[in-house]
Amino acid sequence: MASHKETAQQVVEKIGGAKNVNQAWHCVTRLRFNLNDKDKVEIEEIKKINGVMGAQFSGDQFQVIIGNHVSDVFAEVEPLVGGAVSGDGEKSGQKQSVVSLVMDFISGIFTPILPALAGAGLLKGFLALFTTVGWLTTESDTYMVLNAIGDSVFYFLPFSLAVSTARKMRTNEYLALIVAGTLMYPSLIEAFNAIEGGGPDTLDFLGLGIINIPLLNYDTSVIPVILSVILLKYVYDLVKKVMPSAIQLMFAPMIAFLIVLPLSLWLIGPLGTNIGNFVSDIFNWLFEFSGLFAGLLLAGFMPLIIMTGMHYAFAPIAITSLATLGYDNMVMPMMLISNAAQAGAALGVAVISKNRQMKQLGLSSGISAAIGITEPAMYGVNMKLKKPFVLALVSAGILGAIAGWYGLKAYTMSGIIGIFALPVFADPAGESVSLIVSIVLFALAIVLPFILVLIFRFKDIEEDTTASTQPKEEVAKAKETTTEATGKEIMVQSPLKGTIVPLAEVSDQTFSQEIMGKGIAIEPEEDRVVAPIAGTIMVFPESQHAIGLKGDHGEEILIHIGIDTVSLKGEHFNGLIKEGDRVEVGQPLVEFDREAIRQKEIETVTMIVVTNTAEYLDVLPINADGPIFEGEHLLSLVK
């Protein structure tokens, strides 16, 4: 598997380079790009990059599916594309459709605040759970403190949205915060609350009786602050354009405020509130009219919606529903069931697949999907095998129909919908039925596709032991060369489990420049090294960090665990052999503590080098990168 840095470099190169990136950001599993020229994208080549699960255009937004390590890869993308991340890139010259623009805009606003929504929502869910089982009372001081922590993100949501919208619009974030602060100003909220006591429901701005500002409560609101910040961006830019630069610092913000904020309170805020309520009412009506049918469609087709990246468009609907009704019976219940169904199908693959890599991926991605991150299971397992994906859709549709018919509700927001989000289905009133139903449906959503996969099975992928970045013809040609030269092939097996790293990428030049000889490196995933060949231990220093073997066919192999590990003087290593010992293939040689070594900021990448390379026509790695298991064919020595 390639390093995150290498993956990032290849992705940026294949999308046309940094100059082609207008804007870049990421969500839970994907890199997302707005590009200046989408014709420069080498999409098929990007799909072949190690660490990439898939790539696609959603409208005019380009998405690269990475999976659980997306934030690590994006951290390497960010310095490569520079200003495009913060919004200083050039404007795209390509015209986007209205739908593409809206979807792109919404996802760009909501993805940065997902961690806050996920953390706070989960805390509120646990609070509801604790009150349901009687561990806390709503009158206790502990509840008051924890509720303030969990509720603050939602109550002050306009501030978070103001910042993320400003970043998306490439305008000053601190000016945007003033917009949110005005909408949320305490005296305006107090005036709104006083309406029930007979107070006025409007404010007469300027005292002319013309501009009557409706009093509304904008806490937890979504659309009003977004529309207001958009207006702020254009007004502020226009003011700066016509104003002398010498007085811009003070007067440009003031004039922008005087234009934008009264308009926001008078027109934009009420308009945004009405739009949000209207859209939410439509979906609520659909579920009230036929929850069974709506649940069937939304849960069944949710993976297809996720594939396009359009699921973020549901975030404002869920938030508005929570603010106005106190619950969400659409988005989160259906995503919970859909995500669990993808998990169940992937786990079914893990049980019956005979492909070792697919079994491992099915297990890991199934667990990930159960937590709420489905792309690894969808792209890496279920869609690749086709039938498990279809069975997951069918299962989700059936159970989504049941959830819609019952009226399953989430009572707070959660950024990632999976097993740890179950507490958000606990009714704050203390009723336990909703929570129990959500747990039962979640479990069924895993079990049903799991059983269906076991029953209907699928066409398994044959294990490819010669997979590499080299074309298969080249591998075959290399083997032909071996046969022509000697009539046999000397094989070196992998001494440990991990991910392959090309020797040229190792930071120690002694190895990367092949001074010691040709070979390969592996980043270990387990804490032991076994014999890759049958032979004799020729070198085993007191530091125990390296082993030199001489094989029965004359091959000389050096296994060097880590870089500069000699400085540890044997600490964290446990040798199981000594010089002169005879060893067989697969026999354990050394045990070591990876984490302890890494905590000392020492690399654990392990080099396997043929030190008598000069005696061979060539030393060929079977796999140039990707996962490798202990005992797999690692190197071929051409005599």
Cα distance between the two ends of the chain: 29
Q: How would DSSP label each residue in 489-555?
A: -EEEE-SS-EEEE-GGG-S-HHHHTTSS-EEEEEEESSSEEE-SSSEEEEE--TT-SEEEEEETTS-
SS (H, E, C) 154-181: HHCHHHHHHHHHHHHHCCCHHHHHHHHH
Dihedral sign from CA coordinates of 393, 394, 395, 396:
positive
Q: State the Cα–Cα distance between residues 330 and 307, nearest whole angstrom.
A: 19
Q: Which residue has the tokens 């919970």?
A: 336
Closest-CA residue to 79 (of 21, 142, 126): 21
Exposure on the CB side of residue 477, measured as CA atoms within 13 A: 5
Q: Would you please indicate which residues are annotated as catalytic (active-site) residues?
A: 27
Coil/strand/helix, residue 413? coil
Nearest 10 degrees: CA dihedral of 269, 272, 273, 278? 160
Structure tokens at 503: 């020797």
Decide: 616 and 639 in contact? Cβ < 8 Å.
yes
Cβ neighbour number for residue 566 with a 10 Å cutoff: 15
Decide: 79 and 159 in contact? Cβ < 8 Å.
no
